[in-house]
Structure 1
Amino acid sequence: MLCAPLGSLISNHVSCQVGIMLGGLLASTGLILSSFATSLEHLYLSLGVLTGLGFALCYSPAIAMVGKYFNKRKALAYGIAMSGSGIGTFILAPVVQLLIEQFSWRGALLILGGFVLNLCVCGALMRPIALKEDRKAAPEFLEQDYVPKAQKQDLKRMSICSPLIKVWSHECLCYCSWKEYDFLLMPGFMVLAVSVLFMAYGCSPLFVYLVPYALSVGVSHHQAAFLMSILGVIDIIGNVTFGWLTDRRCLKKHRHFCYLFAVGMDGLCCLFLPVLQNFPLLVPFSFTFGYFDGAYVTLIPVITADVVGTSSLSSALGVVYFLHAIPYLVSPPVAGWLVDTTGSYTASFLLCGFAMIFSSTLLCFANLAKKIKRTHLLPLTNDMGKKQHIWSNGAIAYSVTAELGQKDVEFLAVDTNSYSNR
């Protein structure tokens, strides 16, 4: 996830196909090299760095392509696409264990390397499409003096960040890069970024410490593992069903609040977890937390697209997943330190719960402030519209302001012959 912006950069300047195929090649190479590892440091580089970099290059372009292909059922499409991660984890866990038993861990890594190489095939199927939002940016770009006239007609049919832009001048590339990341200055995206930081901090430790917590309150090892299985399966169901629900006409306009509700519910689950100290109470917790975790994960790219637009979605998702990765790495050690310091899991789970509730509350207040501002600006817009009157008389058009102090009278077109005939 830390390298997600790199995947977005490659997909924007080359293509999503090349980004995913390159990522699949790197991930497969890392797994194959890991099968020949002779030390732990070798595994750090091959399995950790190289394979992780490959998956990072694949992830954000693949998610962004879903948003480009689907509009009417976008949330459902994201839910189905992102449920593949949970389904793959659920199926591959016993398969990998079987491979290790049959071929040892080296043989298992070698087989997985060949299996992951199929990402190149998946990437080749990602046919790029041109969006209307991309085409709208082309006329503005054509005004620049450094764009050759012979290539202006080609540019009209292409995205502003098309691969052919790379062969043009350095100034052209700088302009393209600026247009890719101008969403970073949008207030809506800034609030979303801060909210993602707190949300990611809250959700990560529970996946690490749910089983140890269950064991600490007297749950057996088999039952504790079953809790994680429940959480994983319900997470997949939440991906698909919540995406389908938020695509309904009654909820489609309120996706932001559906996302806030899902994050807030996960936060409440974390707050109540310290009082759930037996297996019958932990089972409903796993159902609830798993469902709403899958729900808000599905809506992250949908909300991001609503904030920045589809044309900037790939770059924005790279930044969002990068911000998501930082607290995801930091929070488990912090939670472990709190457990060691206090001698219980209560402080860790409470901190996670409050972080997620703060994330939800922050976005909620931002949306309310935006609506209030829009409500106040609407009457002013209507008043300004009433002051402007436009009359047309045959081929004569006047644009006259209603305020008496202004003397601007603009003759847009005059046909003297038709006017004299009248």
Structure 2
Amino acid sequence: MTIRNHDPVNTNVEAQDPQPQEAEFKEGGYGWVVIFGVFILNAHTWGFISSFAVFLAYYLRSGTFGASQLGYAFVGGLSISIALLASPLATTLVGWKRCGTRLTIFLGAIFETIGFIGSSFASELWHLILSQGVSFGLGMGLCFVASAAVPPQWFVKRRSFANAIAASGSGFGGLCYSLATNAMIDNIGLSWAFRVIAIVCFVANTIASYLIRDRNHAIGSVHIAFDWKLFKRPEFLLFQAWMVLSILGYVILVFSIVDYCQTVGLTASQASLVGALFNLAQGLGRPAIGLSSDSVGRLNIANLSTLFCGLLCMFFWIFGAKTLASCIVFALLAGSVAGVMWATVAPICAEVVGLALIPSALSLTWLVLVLPATFAEVIGVSLRRSGPGGYLHVQLFTAFCYIGAFIFGWALRAWKVWELEQVQLDKEQRELAIRDEGLLSSVIESQSQNADWPAPPRRRLSILKGLWVIERV
């Protein structure tokens, strides 16, 4: 079966063709080089963000820049929000013939380097905001947005697994930076720590920009920065709600875990170790999430992982994580599932809007995430209290964010099950439709235009069936 995204009229004829869509190109191949390039890129962008917990704990306890706790927390959140806010610019640059994916990533590497060098000379909080917040955030945004839509273009059957391997770079990068940053601050000071990081990031991200190659022309990618029509789709709104609540919990958990460990009595080096192991768990957990997503179902794994993280924060983090051993166990368990949205965002987006619209849909998604990313850690720090149990409100808020994300994500799953039931497809056709919602939409549109095709029941209450039915979606 072959169903083309942009030719729904011919769907009935093509439905007789037994050739699957993935036969149009050889899955993998150079795609694995692309995955390696995106892996390196994530390690030296989001990996540094993951290690910000070490910087934050140092800022909070040393008062280096003489700022309030909320001021320090704002720096980390701002770097993420600026990265997401840069999504329209990055999307436009990628779609511009004179720029493209590679040059956009290289520009991002330059801004990242400028941000780190600027941070090494910072003496006041506003210097840190402009360098570690704005400049680094802009660079990370150009690198991340330009590369996020590329891995799904090279895979169909193993799309989630390949995307998760690329996303796991942030975990392994966070592991290295968490350990290295703490050691560099102790041995060579904060300023030189930033300068060493600047050199490493520039070299690594430049190499990554050379390795990454997109297939935008081959698949007809649509690079519209503001495709507001997507907000008319209820399923897209559910997807946004899942992402917003997930990133609120994720940012607080990533940025707070090192300071929390020191609050319960661990030393700075022990807390840094816990943060590093949290990132290691992210690096190992995301490929496992991707591999299981391709076999069990992307929405199934994404939502169950989200729920599991919420329950871990609700019970284990509150009642169990008090000693070094228990904090390590929590870090390993929570880290494996905390960043599930980064491992599955592109494959799930492909199911919601179709492969060709991924760049436009992700551009809007990053914009939606700007405010929650900016104020997530600010909320976390404001909820923090002194003394024993000072993190209780932070822990509860994080848990409720993940559990709320699961509720919206499970509703999205119910919609997907309902939509699949509206079309009459055999097993092979159904598997192909599950991988790419754009293909499923073309089938539905073609059936609605064909008077000879038997109309399936479209009772809206039947969408509730997807809340409890066991199905691979």
**TM-score normalised according to structure 1 size:** 0.70
Confirm or deny: 8 A CA contact 1:2 1:325 kept in the other structure.
yes
Q: Does 2:334 align with 1:289?
A: yes
Tell me, in whole angstroms, the C-alpha distance in 2 between the residues paired with 1:31 and 1:373: 48
Tell me, in whole angstroms, the C-alpha distance in 1 between the residues paired with 2:395 and 2:307: 14
Q: Does 2:416 align with 1:330?
A: no
Tell me, in whole angstroms, the C-alpha distance in 1 between the residues paired with 2:109 and 2:288: 29
Give CA-to-partner distance per residue, 1:317-359, whole Å, 9 cap, x none: 2332343342233233323333339963323212221221111
Match for 1:316: what amino acid? A
Q: Does 2:209 align with 1:123?
A: yes
Match for 2:281: what amino acid? I
Once the 2 structures are TM-superposed, how far is the Cα of residue 209 of structure 1 from its aligned partner? Answer: 3.4
Which deviates further from its counterpart, 277-286 or 193-202?
277-286
Q: Give the one of 202, 206, 213 matched to 2:253.
A: 206
Give CA-to-partner distance per residue, 1:162-187, whole Å, 9 cap, x none: xxxxxxxxxxxxxx667x55433322
Confirm or deny: 8 A CA contact 2:164 2:343 kept in the other structure.
yes
- The change in CA–CA distance for 1:42 and 1:200 in structure 2 (over 3 A counts) is closer
Confirm or deny: 8 A CA contact 2:248 2:373 kept in the other structure.
yes
How many pairs are equivalent? 345
Query: Cα RMSD over matched residues?
Result: 3.5
Once the 2 structures are TM-superposed, how far is the Cα of residue 267 of structure 1 from its aligned partner? Answer: 0.5
Once the 2 structures are TM-superposed, how far is the Cα of residue 246 of structure 1 from its aligned partner? Answer: 2.0
Where does residue 241 of structure 1 map in the other structure?
A: 288
Q: Give the one of 378, 394, 400 matched to 1:348.
A: 394
- The change in CA–CA distance for 1:53 and 1:235 in structure 2 (over 3 A counts) is same
Match for 2:369: what amino acid? H
- The change in CA–CA distance for 1:244 and 1:31 in structure 2 (over 3 A counts) is same
Confirm or deny: 8 A CA contact 2:309 2:337 kept in the other structure.
yes
Which deviates further from its counterpart, 316-325 or 8-17?
316-325
Match for 1:351: what amino acid? F
Which deviates further from its counterpart, 262-271 or 309-318?
309-318
* Amino-acid identity (%): 23
Match for 2:176: what amino acid? I
Where does residue 154 of structure 1 map in the other structure?
A: none
Match for 2:85: what amino acid? C
Q: Which runs of 5+ in 1 are unaligned?
A: 135-158, 162-175, 390-422
Match for 1:129: what amino acid? R
- The change in CA–CA distance for 1:239 and 1:367 in structure 2 (over 3 A counts) is closer
Where does residue 433 of structure 2 map in the other structure?
A: none
Tell me, in whole angstroms, the C-alpha distance in 2 between the residues paired with 1:336 and 1:40: 17
- The change in CA–CA distance for 1:239 and 1:4 in structure 2 (over 3 A counts) is farther
Tell me, in whole angstroms, the C-alpha distance in 2 between the residues paired with 1:73 and 1:378: 25
Match for 2:94: what amino acid? S
Confirm or deny: 8 A CA contact 2:171 2:280 kept in the other structure.
yes
Match for 1:274: what amino acid? I
- The change in CA–CA distance for 1:130 and 1:347 in structure 2 (over 3 A counts) is closer
- The change in CA–CA distance for 1:370 and 1:296 in structure 2 (over 3 A counts) is closer
**Partner SS state of residue 84, structure 2:** coil
Rg larger in 1 or in 2? 1
**Partner SS state of residue 164, structure 2:** helix
Q: Does 2:46 align with 1:2?
A: no
Tell me, in whole angstroms, the C-alpha distance in 2 between the residues paired with 1:101 and 1:282: 23
Give CA-to-partner distance per residue, 1:58-99, whole Å, 9 cap, x none: 111112111222222212212221222222232244445666
Q: Which runs of 5+ in 2 are unaligned?
A: 1-82, 426-443, 454-473
Where does residue 183 of structure 1 map in the other structure?
A: 230
Tell me, in whole angstroms, the C-alpha distance in 2 between the residues paired with 1:39 and 1:387: 70
Tell me, in whole angstroms, the C-alpha distance in 2 between the residues paired with 1:40 and 1:260: 39
Q: Does 2:151 align with 1:31?
A: no
- The change in CA–CA distance for 1:199 and 1:278 in structure 2 (over 3 A counts) is same
Q: Give the one of 388, 395, 420 matched to 2:452.
A: 388
Confirm or deny: 8 A CA contact 1:181 1:315 kept in the other structure.
no
Where does residue 139 of structure 1 map in the other structure?
A: none
Which deviates further from its counterpart, 40-49 or 338-347?
338-347
Give CA-to-partner distance per residue, 1:353-399, whole Å, 9 cap, x none: 122111111221232245346546769x9x9999739xxxxxxxxxx
Tell me, in whole angstroms, the C-alpha distance in 2 between the residues paired with 1:374 and 1:42: 53
Confirm or deny: 8 A CA contact 2:175 2:277 kept in the other structure.
no
Q: Does 2:138 align with 1:74?
A: no
Q: Give the one of 33, 54, 57 matched to 2:142.
A: 57
Once the 2 structures are TM-superposed, how far is the Cα of residue 299 of structure 1 from its aligned partner? Answer: 1.1
Match for 1:388: what amino acid? D
Confirm or deny: 8 A CA contact 1:2 1:326 kept in the other structure.
no
Which deviates further from its counterpart, 34-43 or 286-295?
34-43
- The change in CA–CA distance for 1:208 and 1:385 in structure 2 (over 3 A counts) is closer
Tell me, in whole angstroms, the C-alpha distance in 2 between the residues paired with 1:72 and 1:370: 18
Match for 2:320: what amino acid? L
Where does residue 413 of structure 2 map in the other structure?
A: 367
Q: Does 2:362 align with 1:317?
A: yes
- The change in CA–CA distance for 1:375 and 1:344 in structure 2 (over 3 A counts) is same
Where does residue 346 of structure 2 map in the other structure?
A: 301
**Partner SS state of residue 356, structure 1:** helix
Tell me, in whole angstroms, the C-alpha distance in 2 between the residues paired with 1:339 and 1:42: 26
Q: Does 2:342 align with 1:278?
A: no
Match for 2:100: what amino acid? S
**Partner SS state of residue 340, structure 1:** coil
Which deviates further from its counterpart, 226-235 or 116-125?
116-125
**TM-score normalised according to structure 2 size:** 0.63
Tell me, in whole angstroms, the C-alpha distance in 1 between the residues paired with 2:334 and 2:407: 18
Give CA-to-partner distance per residue, 1:255-290, whole Å, 9 cap, x none: 101100011100111110222153244443222211
**Partner SS state of residue 117, structure 1:** helix
Where does residue 395 of structure 1 map in the other structure?
A: none
Confirm or deny: 8 A CA contact 1:4 1:59 kept in the other structure.
no
Confirm or deny: 8 A CA contact 1:7 1:57 kept in the other structure.
yes
**Partner SS state of residue 209, structure 2:** helix
Where does residue 273 of structure 2 map in the other structure?
A: 226
- The change in CA–CA distance for 1:132 and 1:346 in structure 2 (over 3 A counts) is same
